[in-house]
Amino acid sequence: MTDITEVKKLIDDAGNAVSQLRQSQQEAIAEVKKHGDVLAETKSKQDAIQNDITGLVQAIQEVKAAQSAQIQTGSDGLTKEVREAKSALFKKMRGMQLSDTEQKALSTITNPDGGYLTTSDTTGRIIQRIRDNSPVRRFANVKNTGKETVTGLIDNGRNSYSWGFQGNTPSTTATKQFGQYEIKVKKLYAYPTATTEMLEDADYDIEAMIVNDAAQGFAEGEAHGFLLGNGVLQPRGMMTVATAYTGDNTRAWGTVQKFKTGVNGGFAATPNGGKILIDAAMSLRGAYRAGAIWGMNRFTFAEAMKLQDSDGNFIWQPTWNLTDSPFGMILGIPVVPDFDHMADIANDSLSMFVGDLNQAYQIVDRRGVNVIRDNITNPDVVQWYFTKRTGGDLVNSEAVRFIEFKA
């Protein structure tokens, strides 16, 4: 271990150098008063003393750091805190149980030593990007949960009643029906890496770029999963549920009603092309139509904009309300052409929907975004492990309608 006398000598030397610098400053003041400037010889002397002080302070810091490391470093050359954090990080990434000491080490280790970082700035940027770029999330009902599986009941909205008069014994009305849903939380993740040299030498913020890429990837993953997910390792996508041509009172709960355009891979010719959209929108009950949107991708939107009635009027209309409906309306219902993962128009494709996603689709979030930044496992490489646990499913099949491009 470094002798304490070495530290004391360095401190004494630094003190003497500071005294010399003060004396030199007094000489410089006198020279300014006499000659109007500091002599070159005095300037050189001051610079030399200042360099000595800087070197002595750095030496003191290095000696103290060496003493601390010698106290806490084991045979592996790592400090106690880093060893605990490294062990905890291995266990965390393998889903193993952490001890209290390892959990503390994982949570408090500082950035220069690597470890477990979940800053509000990083996670906040990711969550905001997901909200901005995941269209289903913008309109669906979102619920936070502490469970792996969420169950609930959906009121089908059909109220029972009867008329009578005073003195009559009331008769039993129809039993109210409920739909039931069960949503399991899935895991969305990204696992990018970068070399330490890349992070140090780049002319731009690579770490910020990696965070932004992870956020965009999560947004794309949600956009796909909530529409087309298979329900196994992904949410069950809204467009993958069972469909039928029958109305609300006859088809099974959980099955969405669809309407055929009458033409394979396209809309019918004017003026019939828009009639199917009228039928679909008006089949929704008022409670669902009030909060409805038209959902499609931009290519389908381009075709829908061309539809006309028998008088040559376009059924799509622009709007001055750029906040709620920047892409205009069809039949008074806002158009949202941001569902890029929906199918392009093709034979038998389901390329449009109309409905209230807030009542139709339920999203459950198990927790926010979790970020592990690891530069311990491999000193030459920094790895980020981003995870987000979320799930989703169609919970009310009567709140939405699909348009099928089929004869």
Grade residue 186 by pLDDT with cuts at 50, 70 and 90.
very high
Residue 375 forms part of a structural domain: yes
Enter the pTM of the model: 0.66
pLDDT at 324: 76
Q: Check pLDDT > 50 for residue 108.
A: no
In a shared domain, residues 91 and 206: no
- What's the angle, vertex CA 59, arms to CA 57 and CA 64, rounded to 5? 100
In a domain, 162, yes or no: no
Question: Domain residues for 22?
Answer: 1-72
- pLDDT tens, residue by residue, 243-290: 999 999 899 989 999 999 999 999 999 888 899 999 999 999 999 999
**Is residue 205 in a domain?**
yes
Amino acid 200: pLDDT: 83
Residues 110, 146, single domain; the answer is no
pLDDT at 94: 47
Domain count, the chain: 3
Does residue 218 sit within a domain?
Answer: yes
Domain-embedded: residue 44:
yes
Cβ-Cβ contacts under 8 Å for 169 (sequence gap 6 or more):
none
Residues 84 and 68 in one domain: no
Same domain? For 102 and 215 the reply is no
Per-residue pLDDT at 19: 65
* pLDDT confidence band for 146 (50 / 70 / 90): confident
Residue located via tokens 């996670």? 123
Same domain? For 87 and 151 the reply is no
Is the domain of 24 the same as that of 97? Answer: no
- Per-residue pLDDT tens digits for 284-321: 999 999 999 999 999 999 999 999 988 889 999 998 87
Q: Are residues 258 and 324 in the same domain?
A: yes
Neighbouring residues of 328: CB distance < 8 A, sequence distance ≥ 6: 305, 316, 317, 318, 319, 334, 335
187: in domain: yes
In terms of Cβ atoms closer than 10 Å to its own Cβ (0-12, 13-18, 19+), residue 301 is: buried
> Is the domain of 203 the same as that of 276?
yes
Instruction: Identify whether 92 is part of a domain.
Output: yes
Shared domain for 259 and 150, answered yes or no, is: yes
The answer to the question of residue 171 being in a domain is: no
Give the chain's mean pLDDT. Answer: 79
149 plus 57 within the same structural domain: no
The answer to whether 89 touches 376, Cβ cutoff 8 Å, is yes
Whether residues 136 and 104 fall in one domain = no
- Residue with the larger pLDDT of the pair 84 and 401: 401
Domain check: are 372 and 287 in the same one?
yes
Residue 223 — very low, low, confident or very high, per pLDDT cuts 50/70/90? very high
pLDDT digits (tens, 9 = 90+) for 155-181: 665 666 677 766 677 777 766 666 678
